[in-house]
A and B are shown apart, each in its own frame.
Chain A
Amino acid sequence: MVVLPRPLAGRGLLLLQQAPNRRVGWMRVLAACLAGIAATGLFILFIDAVSIRHMFTHASPALVAYMTMGQEAPAAGLGLFAVAALAAGAVGAGLALMPAYWRNTIFMAVLLVVGMALLSELISQVLRQILNGRPDRLLFSQGALRPAVAAIAAAAVFAWRGLVPRIRLRVRDRLPQLEPERQRQVSLAVRGAGVLLLLVLPWLVGSYLSEVLANVGLYLLMALGLNIAVGLAGLFDLGYVTNFAVGAYLMGVLTNSGPQATGEFNFWLVLPVSILAAMFTGLLLALPVIRMRGDYLAIATMGFGEIIRLLALSDWLSPLIGGSQGILFIPKPNIGAFTFQTPQHLFYIILAASLVMLVVINRLDLSLTGRRWMAIRDDETVANAIGIDTTWIKTLAFTLSAASGGLAGAIFASKLGTIFPHSFSLLISMNVLCIIIVGGMGSIRGMVLGTLVLIGVPELLREFAEFRFLLYGILLMAVAIYRPGGLMPARARHYRTEPAPQPAGGTPATSSSAASG
Chain B
Amino acid sequence: MSESLLSVSGLTMQFGGLRAVDNVDFRQDTGTIVSIIGPNGAGKTTLFNCISGFYEPTEGEIHLEERRITGLPPNKIARAGIARTYQNIRLFRNMTVLENVMLGQERLLRTTWLGSIFGTRAARRETEEVVERSHAILAFVDLDATADRQADELPYGDQRRLEIARALASEPRLMMLDEPTAGMNPSETADTERLLQRLRDERNVSLLLIEHDMRFVMGISDHIMVLNYGRTIASGTPQEIRTNPEVIEAYLGSSAQD
Contacts and interface: CB of A to CB of B under 8 A. Distances in A.
A465 interface: no
Interface string B31-53: 00000000000000000000011
A481 interface: no
B54 A372 contact: no
Interface residues of A, number: 36
B128 A513 contact: yes
A388 interface: yes
Interface in B61-96: 73-75, 77-79, 83-84, 86, 90-96
Contact of B92 (A363, A374, A387): A374
Nearest to A366: B127
Contacts of A374: 92, 94-95, 99
Nearest to B52: A385
A104 interface: no
A511 B84 contact: no
B86 A382 contact: yes
A513 B111 CA distance: 15
Interface in A465-517: 492-497, 510-513
B92 A510 contact: no
A360 B170 contact: no
B166 interface: yes
A360 B116 CA distance: 9
A513 B116 contact: no
Given A510-B124, A511-B119, A367 B111 contact: yes
A494 B148 contact: yes
A375 B118 CA distance: 22
B15 interface: no
Contacts of A492: 95-96, 148, 150
B79 A387 contact: yes
Interface string A356-379: 000010011001111110110111
A310 B135 CA distance: 53
Contacts of B86: 382
A371 B99 CA distance: 7
Contacts of B112: 369
Contact of A390 (B75, B113, B132): B75
A477 to B, nearest CB: 23
Interface of A: 360, 363-364, 367-372, 374-375, 377-379, 381-390, 396, 400, 492-497, 510-513
Interface of B: 52-54, 73-75, 77-79, 83-84, 86, 90-96, 98-99, 102-104, 106-107, 109, 111-113, 115-119, 123-128, 130-132, 135, 148, 150, 166, 170
Given A385-B52, A492-B96, A492-B150, 5 more contacts: A363-B117, A367-B117, A384-B74, A497-B128, A511-B119
26 contacts: A364-B113, A364-B117, A367-B119, A374-B92, A374-B99, A375-B95, A379-B91, A379-B92, A381-B90, A383-B92, A384-B73, A384-B75, A385-B77, A385-B78, A386-B78, A386-B83, A386-B103, A387-B78, A387-B79, A390-B75, A492-B148, A493-B96, A494-B98, A495-B102, A511-B128, A513-B124
